[in-house]
Structure 1
């Protein structure tokens, strides 16, 4: 199974390298469209290889997806935390009730009674 994982990683790496080599051409990336840039009087632009723009877009999409999923699962995390607190309270209640049941009895007899 480990070899399959390593082979998959190697194939993925080779594919990324081939994509990068095939898309080495330089492109100009502008922050704002020309119409908005005229209003703002600022339009920074950057010349960079196309594969960096592509991989940057993929990375940005992954980050947005992870954040979106984390926000979506907040309700489930809150419910799990509530259940964990409730479970802890129940365990404390059980310990308290067991202590009240055997209060004033000999410890050995209480242990034998509980085991039987």
Structure 2
């Protein structure tokens, strides 16, 4: 990808240099048409090389397009900011609900919900088979 970018920049530089060399003539760039600048006072024209006028026009066009797109997409950025703020608010609310509902409200419930751990060794007389007369199913071994 870096090579392709470097190749593109090199080709662009070659094209720009070729345009500059082919358009070295001096032209007059006027701000107002046909002597209208005299009514405002001063000279409203400048002599520049043609390639500079071309590059300047290209730069002004790019800048105008950038400003146009920035203003056109303002509502999209505003909506994205609003939705981002709403997502953050909802994530905070969900986090609070998880924290509030994850902890037991009563000490008795906390004791009942605690995982059972066996600290006493199993009795030696205990068998894996259910006692006679119980409704537990027999293990299938």
Question: Shorter-normalised TM-score: what interval?
Answer: 0.7 to 0.9
| Contact 1:29 1:45 (8 Å CA) reproduced | yes
CA distance in 1, matches of 2:105, 2:56: 71
Match of 1:65 in 2: 65
Q: How has the CA–CA distance of structure 1 residues 76 and 105 changed in structure 2, closer, same or farther, with 3 Å as cutoff?
A: farther
RMSD of aligned residue pairs (Cα, Å): 2.1
Unaligned runs of 5+ in 1: none
TM-score, normalised by the number of residues in structure 2:
0.69
Q: How has the CA–CA distance of structure 1 residues 90 and 42 changed in structure 2, closer, same or farther, with 3 Å as cutoff?
A: same
Question: Which structure features the higher share of helix residues?
Answer: 1
Alignment deviations for residues 43-102 of structure 1 (CA, whole Å, 9 cap, x no partner): 322111000000000000000000000111111101110110000110111122122212
Q: Tell me the SS of whatever aligns to 1:34.
A: coil
How many equivalent pairs are there?
A: 109
| Contact 1:31 1:43 (8 Å CA) reproduced | no
Match of 1:17 in 2: 17
Between 3-12 and 76-85, report the one with greater CA deviation: 3-12
- More RCO (CA 8 Å, sep 6+): 1
Q: Tell me the SS of whatever aligns to 2:3.
A: helix
Unaligned runs of 5+ in 2: 115-141
| Contact 1:26 1:49 (8 Å CA) reproduced | yes
- Greater C-alpha Rg: 2
Match of 1:33 in 2: 33
Q: How has the CA–CA distance of structure 1 residues 55 and 105 changed in structure 2, closer, same or farther, with 3 Å as cutoff?
A: farther
